[in-house]
């Protein structure tokens, strides 16, 4: 089903979701951020600050944000965390209800999360930007300004045995696909926490 999104045009899907136009260069990198309050601590230079990026910022990257917030809190680590999308279709929206249900099942309330689009400032504001899939990574590499200081990489590259793999897009799937997403982002969250604990943060 995901291929539908990439064929071009806008179509109404069987389950009522409006597919956005085919992927292309994200149109904007707005500097105004209506969800600015979500980054609860802006590090002065090199305190770790992690941004998770997917396409819509309503499924995978909010789940990655939630999983990492939970894992970091359980480990007693203080880290700035946020998520964003390369596309603008869902800006201002809360996470997909299926993502929120997955969070709730893990004891996490994601109802205050709001989708936002990646912006230029993210490349210096965050120390590490993790793309959920290879397309997101390619978009980020293209958008990256020359002034960027953040490490930009693929999320599953930090999970032993999953290097080079993408977190599958559950948007056109069912609850079971969101459960798979949760497992994948949780593994990555645990790997990130382990790296932070031993000060072995991935090199830029």
Contact set with ligand 4NP (CB under 6 A): 5, 19-20, 54-60, 85, 89, 169, 171
- Nearer to ligand 4NP by C-beta: 137 or 196? 137
User: Is there a catalytic annotation at residue 98?
Assistant: no
Q: CB of 46: closest distance to ligand 4NP in angstroms?
A: 29
Task: Name the phi and psi angles at 53, rounded to 5.
Answer: -130, 130
Q: CB of 40: closest distance to ligand 4NP in angstroms?
A: 22
What secondary structure letter does DSSP report for 39?
-
Token pair 């939630």 is found at 66
Active-site residue among 5, 54, 114, 139? Answer: 54
Give the CA angle between residues 11, 13, 19 to the nearest 5°. 50
Q: Residue 57 in contact with residue 90, Cβ under 8 Å? A: yes
Active-site residue among 5, 60, 69, 100? Answer: 60
End-to-end CA distance of the chain: 35
Closest residue to ligand 4NP in the complex (CB): 56
Q: CB of 59: closest distance to ligand 4NP in angstroms?
A: 3
User: Is there a catalytic annotation at residue 144?
Assistant: no
Q: What is the DSSP string of 117-145?
A: B--TTHHHH-SEEEESSHHHHHHHHHH--
User: Is there a catalytic annotation at residue 54?
Assistant: yes
- Nearer to ligand 4NP by C-beta: 48 or 139? 139
Q: Catalytic residue positions?
A: 54, 60, 169
């Amino acid at each position: 089903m995901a291929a539908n999104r990439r064929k071009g045009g806008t179509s109404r899907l069987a389950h009522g979701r409006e597919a956005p136009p085919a992927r292309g260069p994200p149109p904007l990198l707005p500097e105004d951020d209506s969800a600015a309050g979500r980054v609860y601590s802006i590090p002065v230079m090199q305190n770790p600050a992690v941004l998770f990026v997917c396409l819509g910022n309503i499924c995978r990257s909010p789940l990655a944000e939630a999983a990492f917030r939970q894992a970091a809190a359980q480990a007693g680590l203080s880290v700035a965390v946020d998520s964003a999308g390369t596309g603008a279709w869902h800006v201002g929206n809360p996470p997909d209800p299926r993502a929120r249900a997955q969070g709730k099942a893990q004891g996490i309330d994601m109802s205050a999360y709001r989708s936002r689009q990646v912006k230029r400032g993210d490349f210096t504001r965050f120390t590490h930007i993790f793309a959920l899939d290879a397309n997101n990574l390619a978009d980020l590499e293209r958008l990256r300004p020359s002034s960027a200081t953040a490490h930009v990489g693929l999320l599953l590259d930090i999970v032993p045995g999953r290097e080079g793999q993408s977190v599958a897009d559950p948007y056109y799937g069912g609850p079971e696909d969101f459960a798979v997403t949760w497992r994948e982002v949780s593994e990555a969250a645990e790997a990130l926490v382990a790296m932070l604990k031993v000060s072995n943060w991935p090199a830029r």
